[in-house]
Amino acid sequence: MPELVLGLTLFLNFTLPESIGMPDIIVIGDINADVILTIPAYPRPGGEAVAATVKIHTGGSAVNTAVALAKMDMEVGFIGRIGKDALANQILADLGESGVDGTHIQTDPKVNTGLIFIAVTVDGERTMFGARGANTFTEASAIDPAYFVNCRWIHLSGYSFLSYHQHETTLMALELAKNSPYTRVSLDIGTEPALRARSQIMDVLPKLDVIFPNETELAILTEGRSIEAGLDYLLDGRTNAVVAKRGHKGSILAVGNKRVSLPAFNINVKDSTGAGDSFNAGVVLGRLVGLSWEASAALGNALGGLATSQEGGVASSISRSSVARLIEKHLFHEEWAPVRYALEELAAYFEGAL
């Protein structure tokens, strides 16, 4: 891949002026059109359910993370691949409206934009069916290394390990981060990638600053170990930090010898789409602005919770002021007493956001 070698060489020997305004954070992953159907209950096999509402949103796990970061006033760029169709045009418009830079999104002339059907039941739980489309053909050779010059954080999606082209893109991003003195990298695991690409994921874990599995993914990566034993297994030279998502139970942080559980925020769940992706954004934001690991995990819980509070998820519910209000509301809740210092740190950071 001579183009990749040449690109890396140019990146390492060429510095662009700050005024060009390259993003602080670059997210790499799938871009989809999400077709969201609200149904009373999930049908039995062979049955049917009639949707009360049908909505189409721009989505994809990585896109949700990028949008959440942009909603928190971060400079965010996105790298992925879309088709040459009407859905793609709407996606680009939506990303621009959300504040995410899509100028380095690739267009595939032959393959359609990714499409996800999401069935959401009355309890807010979601079931998804996906066709990844153009996502799987994201090309490393089409990426401009100069785009990463000012990048301080790269966030990756585990789904990029499921296709050859995307995997090559991920490896390129890791190489760029390795040769930067200030770029950190995170990875959202994903259940399907954990099942189908465990060995590839395990190979790159030492190169990552933090990973974001849920409980199921943690068990898969650690070959069935309990949460506590699994965290010890991963932190035994296999990766640098883990912030595990536990849904309504909150999250658990593992870094070095530190193990800290943080509760979820009390929120009336309407739609859980994008909750885990927004959680990732909260932790990334916290670490990027210099917050402690505990405060960053608490911020992840806050953004993840807020994403469930309204239909439409990330774009309609997350802002600095909504986070500040949520923290203020929970500051003296009993369940937060063991880690109240994390909320106090967040309250100080968001002072003036109300």
Quickly tell me which residue has 């990028």 as its tokens.
66
Quickly tell me which residue has 């088709």 as its tokens.
83
Confidence tier at 17 by pLDDT (50, 70, 90): very low
- Which regions of 226-352 does DSSP assign to beta strands (E)? 241-245, 251-255, 258-262
Q: Which of 217, 201, 205, 210 is nearest to 241 (CA)?
A: 210
For the annotated catalytic residues, the residue numbers are 277
What is the mean pLDDT of the segment spanning 283-290?
A: 98
Rounded alpha-carbon distances, angstroms, from residue 126 to 42, 272, 315 = 9, 7, 18
Share of the chain above pLDDT 70, in %: 92
Q: Are 99 and 68 in contact (CB under 8 A)?
A: no
Confidence tier at 124 by pLDDT (50, 70, 90): confident
Q: Which of the two residues, 308 and 185, has the higher pLDDT score?
A: 185
What is the mean pLDDT of the segment spanning 93-101?
A: 94
Query: How far apart (Å, rounded) are the C-alpha atoms in residues 185 and 171?
Result: 12
Neighbours of 62 (CB within 10 A): 28
**Phi first, then psi: what are they for 41, rounded to 5°?**
-160, 155
**What pLDDT was estimated at residue 14?**
37
- Helix/strand/coil for 270: coil
**What pLDDT was estimated at residue 286?**
98
Pick among 3.40.190.10, 3.40.1190.20, 3.40.640.10, 3.90.1200.10: CATH of 2-31+60-110+136-349: 3.40.1190.20
| Domain positions in the chain | 2-31+60-110+136-349
pLDDT tens-place string over residues 144-154: 999 999 999 99
pLDDT of residue 268 exceeding 90, the answer is no
Query: How far apart (Å, rounded) are the C-alpha atoms in residues 20 and 34?
Result: 33
Query: How far apart (Å, rounded) are the C-alpha atoms in residues 274 and 304?
Result: 8
pLDDT of residue 106 exceeding 60, the answer is yes
Query: How far apart (Å, rounded) are the C-alpha atoms in residues 210 and 208?
Result: 6
pLDDT of residue 336 exceeding 80, the answer is yes
Rounded alpha-carbon distances, angstroms, from residue 223 to 229, 233, 252 = 10, 10, 19
pLDDT of residue 98 exceeding 50, the answer is yes
Q: Which helix (H) or strand (E) holds 285?
A: helix 275-288
Task: Burial-class residue 160 by CB neighbours within 10 Å (0-12, 13-18, 19+).
Answer: buried
pLDDT tens-place string over residues 243-264: 999 999 999 999 999 999 999 9
Query: How far apart (Å, rounded) are the C-alpha atoms in residues 330 and 332?
Result: 6
Q: Which helix (H) or strand (E) holds 101?
A: strand 100-101
Token readout for 60 is: 């994809």
